[in-house]
Amino acid sequence: MATKHEQILNFIESIPIGDKLSVRLIAKSLNVSEGTAYRAIKEAENTGLVTTIQRVGTIRIEAKSEQNIENLTFEEILKIIDGELLGGKNGLTKTLNKFIIGAMTEEAMLRYITDESLMIIGNRESAQRLSLENGAAVLITGGFRADQEIIDLSNELSLPVMTTSYDTFTVGSMINRAMTDQLIKKEIMMIESVYTRLEHTQFLKTDDTVYDYRIANQESQHTRYPVVGYNDRLVGIVTAKDIIGEEDSVLIKKVMTKDPAFTTNHMSVASVAHTMIWDGLEVMPVVSDEMKLLGVVSRQDIMKAMQSQQRQPQTGETIADQINQSIKEKNTEEYLFNVSPQMTNGLGTISFGVLSEIVTESAYLKLSKQNKRNLVVEQVQLHYLNLIQLGNTLTIKPTVFDRSRRSARLDIEVYSENGLAAKAIVVCQLLQKK
- Any idea where the domains of the chain sit in the sequence? 4-60, 66-187, 195-307, 319-431
Q: Three-state DSSP class for 265?
A: coil
The per-residue pLDDT for 308 is 59
Domains 195-307 and 319-431 fall in the same CATH topology: no
Going residue by residue through the chain, which has 434 residues, state the pLDDT in tens, using 9 for 90 and above: 567 778 888 888 888 887 888 888 888 888 888 878 887 887 788 777 888 776 667 888 766 544 333 467 888 888 888 889 999 988 888 888 788 888 888 888 888 888 888 999 988 899 999 999 999 999 999 889 999 999 999 999 999 999 998 888 888 888 877 777 665 555 567 888 888 888 888 888 888 998 888 888 776 667 788 999 888 899 999 988 888 888 888 998 889 988 888 998 888 887 888 788 777 788 899 998 888 999 998 887 887 776 655 544 445 566 777 788 888 888 878 999 988 887 887 677 888 888 998 998 898 888 877 765 567 788 899 998 888 888 889 999 999 998 887 788 999 999 987 689 999 999 988 766 44
The per-residue pLDDT for 137 is 92
Phi, psi angle pair for 231, to nearest 5°: 60, 30
210 φψ region: left (φ > 0), alpha (ψ -120 to 50), beta (else) = alpha
The per-residue pLDDT for 307 is 63
The β-bridge relationship of strands 234-238 and 257-258 is: antiparallel
- Tell the CATH topology of 319-431: Thiol Ester Dehydrase; Chain A (3.10.129)
* CA distances (Å), origin 153, targets 87, 89, 122, 171, 180: 8, 12, 18, 24, 31
Distance CA 92, CA 86 (A): 12
Nearest to 365 by CA among 418, 305, 428: 428
Q: Please, what CATH class does the domain formed by 66-187 belong to?
A: alpha beta
Distance CA 212, CA 336 (A): 59
The per-residue pLDDT for 13 is 85
Distance CA 258, CA 75 (A): 42
Nearest to 235 by CA among 289, 299, 287: 287
Q: Please, what CATH class does the domain formed by 4-60 belong to?
A: mainly alpha
Q: Three-state DSSP class for 143?
A: coil
Nearest to 137 by CA among 79, 183, 98: 98
* CA distances (Å), origin 62, targets 56, 91, 296, 413: 17, 10, 27, 53
The per-residue pLDDT for 182 is 63
Cα 189–chain centre separation? 7
The 8-class DSSP code of residue 342 comes to G
Distance CA 157, CA 90 (A): 9
170: Cβ contacts below 8 Å, ≥ 6 apart: none
Question: What DSSP element (H or E) covers 328?
Answer: strand 328-329
Given a contact cutoff of 8 angstroms between Cβ atoms, the answer to whether 177 and 50 are in contact is: no
Distance CA 391, CA 403 (A): 35
The per-residue pLDDT for 159 is 92
* CA distances (Å), origin 14, targets 48, 49, 58, 75: 14, 10, 15, 21
The per-residue pLDDT for 67 is 39
The per-residue pLDDT for 65 is 44
At 304, which amino acid appears? K
The per-residue pLDDT for 6 is 80
CATH architecture of the domain covering 195-307: Roll (3.10)
Nearest to 142 by CA among 112, 179, 102: 102
Nearest to 321 by CA among 313, 330, 329: 313
Given a contact cutoff of 8 angstroms between Cβ atoms, the answer to whether 373 and 406 are in contact is: no
Q: pTM of the prediction?
A: 0.44
